[in-house]
Amino acid sequence: LKRVEISSDLGKCFVHIGESHDNWVKNLSLEKHIFITDKNLFRLYRNVFVDTPTIVIGMGENEKNLDTVEHIYFRLLELEADRSTVITGFGGGNVCDITGFAASTYMRGLRFNFIPTTLLAQVDASIGGKNGVNLSEYKNIIGTFSQPQFVLVDFNLLKTLPQREITCGTAEIVKHALIASSAFFTYLEKKSPELLSLDPLVLEKAVFESIRIKSKIVEADATEKGERRKLNFGHTFGHALEKIYGFPHGEAVCLGMIGAIKISVARGLLSEKDEERILTLFNQLKLPTHLSLNKSVLLETIKKDKKRQGESVHFVLLSGLGKSEVVKLTYEQLEGHIHDLCES
C-alpha cells in the first residue's frame, strides 16, 4: 500500500494506492453521500451501490457534455443534496471528469472523491484536479480546477476491465515516463508483458511512479500556466484523432505522441534511435503505431483545441527520453509539420 499526497494551490488530495474499495465504501456511507457511476459499472459492481443513492450516467465520450451534467444537477436536487453532501465518482476517466465538474459547480462546489476503475483513470484522469466536459466538438472546453479529497486506487477493479482498456491506460503511463523519467521508461521496456498482464508488483510500481510524476508537475503548476502543459504531450493530435476517428482516449494519445515524436526528430531534438525504442515499447504494449492523417481535417480540429493561443498552439516535444519541452508553434509551422507527417 502506498500513499501520495498532492499539495497545491488547489488544496490537498490524498491518493491511496493498492487499497480495497470495500472498507472505504462502508466509511463513506457514514456521511451524506452520493455516488456517480456509469451503466456498465452499476451493473458490474451492484454491491457497491446498494446502501447509497447513486446517479447513473451513460458510457462514452459522447456523454461527457452539459446535458449529462444538467441531468446530474436535477438528480442532486431530487436527492436533496446540500453543501454537506459528499459525491464520489466511481468509474473511468469519463465518470471522473463529469463527477469532478458537476460536484465543483453544484451549489458552488461540494466535496468529492474518486474511485477510478480504469487503468487510465487510476494513473491520469483522477489525478490533478482538472475536471472538464465537452461542448459540441470542443473537447474539455468547459471545466474547473478543483481537487478531490481523496482518490482510491484499487487494482482489483481492473480485473473486469477489457484488455483494450488496459492497453489504453499504458499509453498514459508511457507518456509520464517520456516527459519526465528515462529510468521509468527503461523499466517499462523491461516489464511491458508483466504490465499488460497486470502482474501485481509491476502494476503497483508503474501506477505509483506515474502518479508520482503527475503529482510533482501538478504541485508545481496546478492551474497549467507553464510546467503542467507537459502533461498534454501527445494530446494536441490525440484529441483531434479522438474526435475525428472516435479512437478511445489512450489509443488516440498514443498516436498523438507518435506525431509529436516525429516532429521532435524532424526538429533535431530527438534521435531516431530513441524514436525506435519508443515505437518498440508501444508495439510491445499492443498500442496502435500506424499514424494515418488527413491534413486539412486535422488542422481544422486542432484550431478548436483549447491549448491554442491566438494563432499558435503550445506543443509538447521530446528532447530525449524523459525530457520534454513546451514550444509555441504557429499554425503555419504546425501545418508544415503535418504536411511532412502526411508525406512520410
Ligand X SMILES: NC(=O)c1ccc[n+]([C@@H]2O[C@H](COP(=O)([O-])OP(=O)(O)OC[C@H]3O[C@@H](n4cnc5c(N)ncnc54)[C@H](O)[C@@H]3O)[C@@H](O)[C@H]2O)c1
Q: Is 44 in the site for ligand X (CB under 6 A)?
A: yes
Q: Is 160 in the site for ligand X (CB under 6 A)?
A: yes
Q: Is 130 in the site for ligand X (CB under 6 A)?
A: yes
What own/partner pairs with CB < 8 Å and gap ≥ 24 does 53-61 have?
53/79, 55/79, 57/95, 57/98, 59/94, 60/94, 61/94, 61/134, 61/242, 61/246, 61/249
Binding residue for ligand X, selected from 61, 224, 251, 274, defined by CB under 6 A: 61
Report the residue number, 75 or 249, with the smaller CB distance to ligand X. 249
Binding residue for ligand X, selected from 21, 28, 104, 165, defined by CB under 6 A: 165
From the list 38-46, 66-74, 191-199, 290-298, the region that binds ligand X by CB under 6 A is: 38-46
Q: How far is CA 98 from CA 37, 93, 132, 266, 285, in A?
A: 10, 8, 7, 38, 29
> Which cell numbers hold the place of 78?
431530487
Q: Is 287 in the site for ligand X (CB under 6 A)?
A: no
Instruction: Indicate the burial class of 108 (C-beta count within 10 angstroms; 0-12, 13-18, 19 or more).
Output: exposed
Binding residue for ligand X, selected from 88, 99, 118, 170, defined by CB under 6 A: 118
Q: Is 180 in the site for ligand X (CB under 6 A)?
A: no
The residue type found at 80 is: E
Report the residue number, 98 or 318, with the smaller CB distance to ligand X. 98
Q: Is 238 in the site for ligand X (CB under 6 A)?
A: no
Q: Is 117 in the site for ligand X (CB under 6 A)?
A: yes
Q: How far is CA 247 from CA 92, 148, 232, 242, in A?
A: 16, 28, 17, 5
For the CB of residue 314, give the shortest distance to ligand X in the complex, in Å.
Answer: 16
Q: Is 174 in the site for ligand X (CB under 6 A)?
A: no
Q: Are 235 and 139 in contact (CB under 8 A)?
A: no
Inter-axis angle of helices 235-245 and 295-303, nearest 10: 110
Give me the 243-262 binding string for ligand X, x by CB under 6 A, dash otherwise.
------xx------------
From the list 69-77, 158-166, 297-305, 323-331, the region that binds ligand X by CB under 6 A is: 158-166
Give me the 83-102 binding string for ligand X, x by CB under 6 A, dash otherwise.
--------xxxxx-x-----
Q: Is 317 in the site for ligand X (CB under 6 A)?
A: no
From the list 105-113, 161-169, 284-292, 310-318, the region that binds ligand X by CB under 6 A is: 161-169
Q: Is 121 in the site for ligand X (CB under 6 A)?
A: yes
Helical (H) or strand (E) element with 335: helix 331-343
Q: Is 125 in the site for ligand X (CB under 6 A)?
A: yes
Q: Are 121 and 131 in contact (CB under 8 A)?
A: no
DSSP conformation letters of 235-284: HHHHHHHHHHH---HHHHHHHHHHHHHHHHHHTTSS-HHHHHHHHHHHHH
Distance between CA atoms of 51 and 303, rounded to whole angstroms?
46
**Residue positions counted in the chain:** 344
Report the residue number, 33 or 249, with the smaller CB distance to ligand X. 249
For the CB of residue 169, give the shortest distance to ligand X in the complex, in Å.
Answer: 7
- Tell me which residues touch ligand X (CB under 6 A): 38, 40-41, 44, 59-61, 64, 91-95, 97, 117-118, 120-121, 124-125, 128, 130, 140, 157, 160-161, 165, 168, 249-250
